[in-house]
Structure 1
Protein backbone atom coordinates (compact mmCIF):
# COMPACT_ATOMS: atom_id res chain seq x y z
CA UNK A 1 0.00 0.00 0.00
CA UNK A 2 1.37 3.39 -1.00
CA UNK A 3 2.13 5.90 1.74
CA UNK A 4 0.05 9.11 1.69
CA UNK A 5 3.38 10.94 1.90
CA UNK A 6 4.17 9.79 -1.65
CA UNK A 7 1.28 11.91 -2.91
CA UNK A 8 2.68 15.10 -1.36
CA UNK A 9 4.49 17.74 -3.40
CA UNK A 10 8.11 18.59 -2.75
CA UNK A 11 7.05 21.82 -1.04
CA UNK A 12 4.67 19.94 1.27
CA UNK A 13 7.41 17.44 2.07
CA UNK A 14 9.86 20.27 2.79
CA UNK A 15 7.38 21.88 5.20
CA UNK A 16 7.09 18.57 7.05
CA UNK A 17 10.86 18.07 6.92
CA UNK A 18 11.35 21.48 8.55
CA UNK A 19 9.38 20.04 11.48
CA UNK A 20 11.65 17.00 11.66
CA UNK A 21 9.24 14.56 10.02
CA UNK A 22 11.20 11.38 9.28
CA UNK A 23 8.55 10.07 6.87
CA UNK A 24 8.87 13.21 4.75
CA UNK A 25 12.65 12.74 4.69
CA UNK A 26 12.21 9.08 3.66
CA UNK A 27 9.97 10.02 0.74
CA UNK A 28 12.40 12.75 -0.40
CA UNK A 29 15.22 10.21 -0.14
CA UNK A 30 13.33 7.58 -2.14
CA UNK A 31 12.21 10.16 -4.70
CA UNK A 32 15.60 11.70 -5.36
CA UNK A 33 18.23 9.05 -4.54
CA UNK A 34 17.98 7.24 -7.91
CA UNK A 35 18.02 10.52 -9.87
CA UNK A 36 20.99 11.91 -7.97
CA UNK A 37 22.76 8.56 -8.23
CA UNK A 38 22.57 8.64 -12.03
CA UNK A 39 23.67 12.29 -12.03
CA UNK A 40 26.66 11.58 -9.75
CA UNK A 41 27.71 8.47 -11.70
CA UNK A 42 28.03 10.61 -14.83
CA UNK A 43 30.57 12.82 -13.07
CA UNK A 44 32.45 10.34 -10.85
CA UNK A 45 33.89 7.00 -11.87
CA UNK A 46 34.25 5.51 -8.39
CA UNK A 47 31.01 4.01 -7.01
CA UNK A 48 32.23 4.49 -3.45
CA UNK A 49 32.76 8.21 -4.08
CA UNK A 50 29.26 8.39 -5.57
CA UNK A 51 27.71 6.74 -2.50
CA UNK A 52 29.73 8.99 -0.17
CA UNK A 53 28.59 12.10 -2.02
CA UNK A 54 24.94 11.09 -1.83
CA UNK A 55 25.28 10.15 1.83
CA UNK A 56 26.72 13.62 2.52
CA UNK A 57 23.92 15.29 0.56
CA UNK A 58 21.13 13.51 2.40
CA UNK A 59 22.91 13.80 5.76
CA UNK A 60 23.14 17.55 5.24
CA UNK A 61 19.48 17.70 4.26
CA UNK A 62 18.45 15.86 7.44
CA UNK A 63 20.90 17.61 9.77
CA UNK A 64 19.76 21.04 8.57
CA UNK A 65 16.08 20.13 8.33
CA UNK A 66 14.93 22.56 11.04
CA UNK A 67 16.95 25.50 9.64
CA UNK A 68 16.63 24.69 5.96
CA UNK A 69 15.48 27.55 3.75
CA UNK A 70 15.39 26.67 0.07
CA UNK A 71 14.91 29.57 -2.35
CA UNK A 72 14.51 27.29 -5.34
CA UNK A 73 12.90 23.93 -5.99
CA UNK A 74 13.90 20.93 -3.93
CA UNK A 75 15.21 19.21 -7.06
CA UNK A 76 17.41 22.20 -7.95
CA UNK A 77 18.68 22.42 -4.39
CA UNK A 78 19.56 18.70 -4.25
CA UNK A 79 21.22 18.77 -7.69
CA UNK A 80 23.27 21.84 -6.75
CA UNK A 81 24.26 20.29 -3.43
CA UNK A 82 25.26 17.07 -5.21
CA UNK A 83 27.21 18.97 -7.88
CA UNK A 84 29.10 20.95 -5.23
CA UNK A 85 29.97 17.80 -3.29
CA UNK A 86 31.16 16.14 -6.51
CA UNK A 87 33.34 19.14 -7.32
CA UNK A 88 34.83 18.88 -3.82
CA UNK A 89 35.61 15.20 -4.39
CA UNK A 90 37.23 15.95 -7.74
CA UNK A 91 39.29 18.77 -6.22
CA UNK A 92 40.42 16.52 -3.36
CA UNK A 93 41.29 13.75 -5.80
CA UNK A 94 43.44 16.21 -7.70
CA UNK A 95 45.15 17.36 -4.49
CA UNK A 96 45.74 13.75 -3.47
CA UNK A 97 47.05 12.84 -6.93
CA UNK A 98 49.35 15.86 -6.94
CA UNK A 99 50.54 15.01 -3.45
CA UNK A 100 51.17 11.36 -4.29
CA UNK A 101 52.97 12.36 -7.52
CA UNK A 102 55.01 14.84 -5.53
CA UNK A 103 55.91 12.20 -2.94
CA UNK A 104 56.88 9.73 -5.65
CA UNK A 105 59.11 12.28 -7.28
CA UNK A 106 60.67 13.12 -3.95
CA UNK A 107 61.39 9.48 -3.19
CA UNK A 108 62.84 8.84 -6.66
CA UNK A 109 65.08 11.88 -6.64
CA UNK A 110 66.11 11.66 -2.97
CA UNK A 111 65.72 15.38 -2.48
CA UNK A 112 67.07 17.21 0.55
CA UNK A 113 65.26 17.52 3.86
CA UNK A 114 63.96 21.01 3.07
CA UNK A 115 61.70 19.55 0.38
CA UNK A 116 60.30 17.18 2.96
CA UNK A 117 59.63 20.09 5.32
CA UNK A 118 57.84 22.03 2.58
CA UNK A 119 55.63 19.03 1.78
CA UNK A 120 54.95 18.44 5.44
CA UNK A 121 53.88 22.08 5.77
CA UNK A 122 51.61 21.77 2.70
CA UNK A 123 50.04 18.65 4.16
CA UNK A 124 49.61 20.39 7.51
CA UNK A 125 47.86 23.29 5.77
CA UNK A 126 45.59 20.86 3.94
CA UNK A 127 44.77 19.12 7.21
CA UNK A 128 44.14 22.44 8.98
CA UNK A 129 41.88 23.52 6.12
CA UNK A 130 39.82 20.32 6.39
CA UNK A 131 39.59 20.66 10.18
CA UNK A 132 38.37 24.25 9.73
CA UNK A 133 35.58 22.94 7.47
CA UNK A 134 34.22 20.63 10.18
CA UNK A 135 30.91 21.70 11.75
CA UNK A 136 31.59 24.21 14.54
CA UNK A 137 30.65 22.01 17.52
CA UNK A 138 32.61 19.08 16.12
CA UNK A 139 35.62 21.32 15.38
CA UNK A 140 35.65 22.75 18.94
CA UNK A 141 35.50 19.27 20.50
CA UNK A 142 38.14 17.95 18.10
CA UNK A 143 40.44 20.89 18.86
CA UNK A 144 40.11 20.38 22.61
CA UNK A 145 40.98 16.72 22.19
CA UNK A 146 43.79 16.89 19.62
CA UNK A 147 45.40 20.26 20.28
CA UNK A 148 44.62 20.94 23.93
CA UNK A 149 45.00 17.24 24.82
CA UNK A 150 41.93 17.19 27.07
CA UNK A 151 40.30 13.88 27.94
CA UNK A 152 36.73 13.10 26.87
CA UNK A 153 35.64 13.67 30.46
CA UNK A 154 37.37 17.07 30.66
CA UNK A 155 35.84 18.14 27.35
CA UNK A 156 32.39 16.96 28.45
CA UNK A 157 32.67 18.96 31.67
CA UNK A 158 34.01 22.06 29.92
CA UNK A 159 31.22 22.08 27.31
CA UNK A 160 28.45 20.71 29.57
CA UNK A 161 27.77 17.73 27.33
CA UNK A 162 28.01 13.98 27.81
CA UNK A 163 31.20 11.99 27.32
CA UNK A 164 29.30 9.92 24.75
CA UNK A 165 28.62 13.06 22.71
CA UNK A 166 32.31 13.96 22.87
CA UNK A 167 33.34 10.48 21.74
CA UNK A 168 30.78 10.48 18.91
CA UNK A 169 31.83 13.93 17.69
CA UNK A 170 35.53 12.97 17.66
CA UNK A 171 34.79 9.70 15.85
CA UNK A 172 32.67 11.57 13.29
CA UNK A 173 35.44 14.15 12.82
CA UNK A 174 37.99 11.39 12.19
CA UNK A 175 35.66 9.73 9.66
CA UNK A 176 35.18 13.01 7.82
CA UNK A 177 38.91 13.74 7.80
CA UNK A 178 39.73 10.23 6.58
CA UNK A 179 37.21 10.67 3.76
CA UNK A 180 38.42 14.16 2.82
CA UNK A 181 42.17 13.63 3.19
CA UNK A 182 42.55 10.15 1.81
CA UNK A 183 44.33 7.30 3.55
CA UNK A 184 47.94 8.50 3.20
CA UNK A 185 47.28 12.02 4.48
CA UNK A 186 44.99 10.74 7.24
CA UNK A 187 47.62 8.30 8.56
CA UNK A 188 50.21 11.08 8.39
CA UNK A 189 47.83 13.32 10.35
CA UNK A 190 47.40 10.66 13.04
CA UNK A 191 51.17 10.17 13.26
CA UNK A 192 51.80 13.92 13.62
CA UNK A 193 49.47 14.12 16.60
Structure 2
Protein backbone atom coordinates (compact mmCIF):
# COMPACT_ATOMS: atom_id res chain seq x y z
CA UNK A 1 0.00 0.00 0.00
CA UNK A 2 2.85 2.36 0.90
CA UNK A 3 4.66 1.46 -2.31
CA UNK A 4 1.51 2.29 -4.33
CA UNK A 5 1.41 5.76 -2.72
CA UNK A 6 5.04 6.36 -3.75
CA UNK A 7 4.24 5.33 -7.34
CA UNK A 8 1.34 7.80 -7.36
CA UNK A 9 3.30 10.73 -5.91
CA UNK A 10 3.73 13.59 -8.36
CA UNK A 11 7.50 13.19 -8.27
CA UNK A 12 7.29 9.51 -9.19
CA UNK A 13 4.68 10.21 -11.87
CA UNK A 14 6.92 12.87 -13.41
CA UNK A 15 9.91 10.52 -13.48
CA UNK A 16 7.86 7.79 -15.15
CA UNK A 17 6.26 10.30 -17.53
CA UNK A 18 9.72 11.42 -18.74
CA UNK A 19 10.40 7.80 -19.65
CA UNK A 20 7.21 7.70 -21.74
CA UNK A 21 5.10 5.73 -19.24
CA UNK A 22 1.53 6.02 -20.53
CA UNK A 23 0.08 4.71 -17.23
CA UNK A 24 1.75 7.58 -15.36
CA UNK A 25 0.34 10.03 -17.90
CA UNK A 26 -3.15 8.56 -17.42
CA UNK A 27 -2.90 8.94 -13.64
CA UNK A 28 -1.86 12.60 -14.06
CA UNK A 29 -4.68 13.11 -16.56
CA UNK A 30 -7.30 11.64 -14.22
CA UNK A 31 -5.91 13.53 -11.23
CA UNK A 32 -5.87 16.98 -12.84
CA UNK A 33 -8.41 16.95 -15.70
CA UNK A 34 -11.41 18.18 -13.67
CA UNK A 35 -9.28 20.60 -11.63
CA UNK A 36 -8.05 22.31 -14.80
CA UNK A 37 -11.46 22.28 -16.48
CA UNK A 38 -13.03 23.92 -13.40
CA UNK A 39 -10.27 26.54 -13.22
CA UNK A 40 -10.50 27.38 -16.91
CA UNK A 41 -14.31 27.54 -16.73
CA UNK A 42 -14.00 30.37 -14.18
CA UNK A 43 -12.18 32.34 -16.88
CA UNK A 44 -13.93 31.25 -20.09
CA UNK A 45 -17.44 30.25 -18.98
CA UNK A 46 -17.68 27.90 -21.97
CA UNK A 47 -17.38 24.18 -21.22
CA UNK A 48 -16.51 23.06 -24.77
CA UNK A 49 -13.76 25.67 -24.98
CA UNK A 50 -12.47 24.71 -21.51
CA UNK A 51 -12.26 21.05 -22.45
CA UNK A 52 -10.37 21.98 -25.61
CA UNK A 53 -7.94 24.16 -23.61
CA UNK A 54 -7.29 21.42 -21.04
CA UNK A 55 -6.89 18.81 -23.76
CA UNK A 56 -4.23 21.04 -25.34
CA UNK A 57 -2.45 21.30 -21.97
CA UNK A 58 -2.25 17.50 -21.70
CA UNK A 59 -1.18 17.11 -25.33
CA UNK A 60 1.66 19.57 -24.69
CA UNK A 61 2.57 17.75 -21.47
CA UNK A 62 2.90 14.44 -23.33
CA UNK A 63 4.75 15.91 -26.30
CA UNK A 64 7.20 17.88 -24.12
CA UNK A 65 7.62 15.21 -21.41
CA UNK A 66 11.24 14.46 -22.20
CA UNK A 67 12.45 18.06 -22.45
CA UNK A 68 10.56 19.86 -19.67
CA UNK A 69 12.09 20.04 -16.21
CA UNK A 70 8.90 20.14 -14.12
CA UNK A 71 9.43 20.60 -10.40
CA UNK A 72 5.83 21.17 -9.28
CA UNK A 73 3.34 19.28 -11.47
CA UNK A 74 0.17 21.03 -10.33
CA UNK A 75 1.70 24.51 -10.60
CA UNK A 76 3.06 23.64 -14.05
CA UNK A 77 -0.32 22.39 -15.31
CA UNK A 78 -2.17 25.41 -13.90
CA UNK A 79 0.32 27.80 -15.50
CA UNK A 80 0.00 26.02 -18.86
CA UNK A 81 -3.78 26.23 -18.58
CA UNK A 82 -3.61 29.98 -17.86
CA UNK A 83 -1.42 30.54 -20.94
CA UNK A 84 -3.85 28.55 -23.09
CA UNK A 85 -6.77 30.62 -21.75
CA UNK A 86 -4.82 33.78 -22.55
CA UNK A 87 -4.30 32.51 -26.11
CA UNK A 88 -8.09 32.02 -26.40
CA UNK A 89 -8.69 35.60 -25.21
CA UNK A 90 -6.10 36.91 -27.65
CA UNK A 91 -7.52 34.92 -30.56
CA UNK A 92 -11.11 36.01 -29.83
CA UNK A 93 -10.08 39.65 -29.54
CA UNK A 94 -8.14 39.50 -32.81
CA UNK A 95 -11.01 37.76 -34.65
CA UNK A 96 -13.55 40.25 -33.34
CA UNK A 97 -11.31 43.14 -34.32
CA UNK A 98 -10.84 41.79 -37.86
CA UNK A 99 -14.58 41.31 -38.36
CA UNK A 100 -15.36 44.79 -37.05
CA UNK A 101 -12.71 46.31 -39.34
CA UNK A 102 -14.14 44.49 -42.38
CA UNK A 103 -17.71 45.46 -41.56
CA UNK A 104 -16.59 49.03 -40.97
CA UNK A 105 -14.85 49.06 -44.36
CA UNK A 106 -18.04 47.96 -46.08
CA UNK A 107 -20.15 50.55 -44.26
CA UNK A 108 -17.82 53.41 -45.26
CA UNK A 109 -17.97 52.46 -48.97
CA UNK A 110 -14.18 52.34 -49.20
CA UNK A 111 -14.38 49.40 -51.54
CA UNK A 112 -13.48 50.20 -55.14
CA UNK A 113 -15.83 49.62 -58.07
CA UNK A 114 -13.81 46.57 -59.04
CA UNK A 115 -14.47 45.07 -55.62
CA UNK A 116 -18.22 45.81 -55.62
CA UNK A 117 -18.94 42.39 -57.11
CA UNK A 118 -16.90 40.72 -54.35
CA UNK A 119 -18.67 42.87 -51.75
CA UNK A 120 -22.09 41.89 -53.09
CA UNK A 121 -21.04 38.24 -53.14
CA UNK A 122 -19.69 38.49 -49.59
CA UNK A 123 -22.85 40.20 -48.32
CA UNK A 124 -25.08 37.50 -49.79
CA UNK A 125 -22.81 34.82 -48.32
CA UNK A 126 -23.04 36.44 -44.88
CA UNK A 127 -26.82 36.92 -45.14
CA UNK A 128 -27.28 33.27 -46.07
CA UNK A 129 -24.97 32.21 -43.23
CA UNK A 130 -26.89 34.38 -40.73
CA UNK A 131 -30.19 32.84 -41.88
CA UNK A 132 -28.91 29.37 -40.92
CA UNK A 133 -27.69 30.31 -37.43
CA UNK A 134 -29.57 28.96 -34.40
CA UNK A 135 -32.27 31.50 -33.44
CA UNK A 136 -30.61 32.91 -30.30
CA UNK A 137 -27.17 33.18 -31.92
CA UNK A 138 -28.75 34.86 -34.95
CA UNK A 139 -30.48 37.46 -32.76
CA UNK A 140 -27.31 38.18 -30.80
CA UNK A 141 -25.18 38.47 -33.95
CA UNK A 142 -27.64 40.86 -35.59
CA UNK A 143 -27.97 42.98 -32.43
CA UNK A 144 -24.18 43.28 -32.14
CA UNK A 145 -23.08 43.77 -35.73
CA UNK A 146 -26.13 45.11 -37.54
CA UNK A 147 -27.88 47.08 -34.79
CA UNK A 148 -24.54 47.94 -33.13
CA UNK A 149 -25.58 47.24 -29.54
CA UNK A 150 -22.82 46.58 -27.01
CA UNK A 151 -22.56 43.16 -25.40
CA UNK A 152 -23.73 44.72 -22.14
CA UNK A 153 -26.86 46.12 -23.82
CA UNK A 154 -27.55 42.79 -25.51
CA UNK A 155 -27.08 41.04 -22.18
CA UNK A 156 -29.69 43.27 -20.57
CA UNK A 157 -32.17 42.95 -23.46
CA UNK A 158 -31.92 39.16 -23.68
CA UNK A 159 -31.61 38.63 -19.92
CA UNK A 160 -28.45 36.57 -20.50
CA UNK A 161 -25.06 37.00 -18.91
CA UNK A 162 -22.50 39.08 -20.78
CA UNK A 163 -20.22 36.03 -20.89
CA UNK A 164 -22.97 34.03 -22.63
CA UNK A 165 -23.36 36.81 -25.19
CA UNK A 166 -19.60 36.91 -25.77
CA UNK A 167 -19.48 33.12 -26.14
CA UNK A 168 -22.26 33.20 -28.77
CA UNK A 169 -20.43 35.98 -30.63
CA UNK A 170 -17.08 34.22 -30.39
CA UNK A 171 -18.50 31.00 -31.84
CA UNK A 172 -20.31 32.92 -34.59
CA UNK A 173 -17.25 34.95 -35.55
CA UNK A 174 -15.00 31.90 -35.64
CA UNK A 175 -17.42 30.04 -37.92
CA UNK A 176 -18.00 33.08 -40.13
CA UNK A 177 -14.28 33.68 -40.48
CA UNK A 178 -13.76 30.06 -41.53
CA UNK A 179 -16.60 30.33 -44.06
CA UNK A 180 -15.23 33.55 -45.55
CA UNK A 181 -11.72 32.12 -45.83
CA UNK A 182 -13.05 28.99 -47.55
CA UNK A 183 -15.23 31.07 -49.87
CA UNK A 184 -12.40 33.34 -50.95
CA UNK A 185 -9.97 30.45 -51.40
CA UNK A 186 -12.45 28.92 -53.85
CA UNK A 187 -12.89 32.33 -55.51
CA UNK A 188 -9.12 32.83 -55.86
CA UNK A 189 -8.63 29.31 -57.21
CA UNK A 190 -11.29 29.91 -59.88
CA UNK A 191 -9.45 33.08 -60.95
CA UNK A 192 -6.22 31.19 -61.60
CA UNK A 193 -7.63 28.05 -63.22
TM-score (norm: length of structure 2): 0.57
1:182 and 1:44 map into 2 onto residues whose CA distance is 16
Matched, 1:28 2:34: no
Q: CA deviation at 1:58?
A: 0.3
1:96 and 1:14 map into 2 onto residues whose CA distance is 37
Change in 2 beyond 3 A, CA 1:105/1:6: farther
Aligned to 1:76: 75
Which deviations, in whole Å up to 9, do the C-alpha atoms of 1:157-177 show, x marking residues without a partner?
A: xxxxxxxxxxxxxxxxxxxxx
Contact 2:6 2:12 in 1 (8 A): no
Q: CA deviation at 1:102?
A: 1.4
List aligned pairs for 1:102-141, cutoff 5 A: 102-113=101-112
Q: CA deviation at 1:99?
A: 1.0
Contact 1:5 1:24 in 2 (8 A): no
2:72 and 2:104 map into 1 onto residues whose CA distance is 48
List aligned pairs for 1:1-193, cutoff 5 A: 4=4, 8-70=8-70, 72-113=71-112, 182-189=174-181, 191=185
Change in 2 beyond 3 A, CA 1:187/1:5: farther
Contact 2:29 2:58 in 1 (8 A): yes
Structure 2 gaps of 5+ residues are 116-172
Contact 2:40 2:85 in 1 (8 A): yes
Q: How many residue pairs were aligned?
A: 125
Secondary structure at the aligned position of 1:111 is classed as coil
2:91 and 2:77 map into 1 onto residues whose CA distance is 21
Note the aligned Cα RMSD (angstroms).
Answer: 2.7
1:65 and 1:105 map into 2 onto residues whose CA distance is 46
Aligned to 1:152: none
Which deviations, in whole Å up to 9, do the C-alpha atoms of 1:19-38 show, x marking residues without a partner?
A: 10011000000100111111
Q: CA deviation at 1:105?
A: 1.5
Q: Name the larger-Rg structure.
A: 2
Change in 2 beyond 3 A, CA 1:108/1:5: farther
1:65 and 1:27 map into 2 onto residues whose CA distance is 14
Which deviations, in whole Å up to 9, do the C-alpha atoms of 1:66-121 show, x marking residues without a partner?
A: 22211x310000000000000010011000111111122222222234xx9xxxxx
Structure 1 gaps of 5+ residues are 117-180
